[in-house]
Structure 1
Amino acid sequence: MDRQPAVYILASWRNGTLYIGVTSNLMARIVQHRAGSFGSFTRMYGVKRLVWFAMADTMEGVIAREKQLKNWHRAWKIELIEADNPTWRDLAEDWGFDPLPRPSSRA
């Protein structure tokens, strides 16, 4: 998968913190998130699991979809994820990424 516009959802764990983003290179962006290259939200909350994504022909298309998803209720986002990924599996593993460690229990 080379450069192709994508909108994606990352999660910290099942039903955990969600992050919605766009990119022109999803694999490279996953590498960045896993490395903690972004010093903000995703690193602070350990949001690294790719649980949903959609490709489009244009950046305008994925940006419009991103804005739509960010305005959705959390329950709708969870329904979207679980429609294709009911176990919240890390989809990046399908591209050869190492499995992420299971989150520790939250006290």
Structure 2
Amino acid sequence: MRGLTENIDEVVDELIDVFNVEGRHGGLRPILKIKGKTIYGFEVHDGYFHDLAPAPHDRGILCVDASVKKIFDLSSLQIICIKIAWGLWRGRSRVKLSSKR
């Protein structure tokens, strides 16, 4: 049981380092470490989050969402799932495109 408690303490310490909770730079902020360099993001406050109000318009908008997830890793073999979704909107209605190219 003692080994489990030590492992949990290590995980908590790592999470504190990753999210810099009450650290030397103030409150909660993202941290990115690349090749020995540390980049600190802007401090996160609940005041930064607000409701989005829809604004009427007739412009065309292209929406794209993409993600890559590594599902399984066997060193020499990796199974990756890639998802790409897109949509074209004009105002509040979706533009229907023909399937012919």
State the TM-score, normalized to the length of structure 1. 0.20
Structure with bigger helix share is 1
Structure with bigger strand share is 2
Higher relative contact order (CA 8 A, sep 6+): 1
Larger Rg: 2
